[in-house]
Homo-oligomer: A and B are copies of this chain.
C-alpha cells in the first residue's frame, strides 16, 4: 500500500488567494485552477473578467504540472521541434490536455508533489508570475 500526501481544500483556497492577489496587482483577471497530486480538480476560480477558454487551459496546466511534477514552461522549452531530444509533439497528447504553455506549476511539500496550480488569461509570463505568487503565499501560510 502506498501513502500519498494531497492538498486539502483549505490549502487550495490559500493558493488561489495568493494567485488572485498578484492578478489584481498586475490588473489581469485570471482563471485559477488547483488540482490534487493526481491532476484532478479540487478548486477553481474565474476572477470577474477572466477569459472563458482559459477555464479549460488553467485546469490543463494544473493537471500537467501535478502529473509531470514540473512547470509547464519547462515542457515548452524542451519540446522545440528539431532539437534532437525527441520530445516535440508531447503537446498534442491526451487530446491536447497535456498543456505546455507557461503558467502551470507543481506544488511541493518536503520534496513531494501534493498538487498543481494552473493560471490562464494573461501572457505566459503573467500566468507564471501568478502561479508562483500562489505558491509563495501557500509556502508562507501553510508550511
CA distance A43 to B8 in the complex (A): 17
Q: Would you give the shortest CB distance from A14 to chain B, in whole angstroms?
A: 12
Assess the A102–B128 pair: CB atoms within 8 A.
no
Chain copies in complex: 4
Given that A46-B41, A63-B53 are contacting pairs, would A89 and B91 also be in contact in the complex, using a CB cutoff of 8 Å?
yes
Q: Would you give the shortest CB distance from A27 to chain B, in whole angstroms?
A: 14
> Quick one: closest B residue to A41, CB to CB?
B55
Chain A residues 12-33 with CB under 8 Å of chain B are: none
In the bound complex, residues from chain B placing their C-beta under 8 Å from that of A91 are 88-89, 92
Given contacts A1-B6, A96-B96, 5 further A-B contacts (CB under 8 A): A1-B8, A3-B3, A43-B45, A43-B46, A93-B101
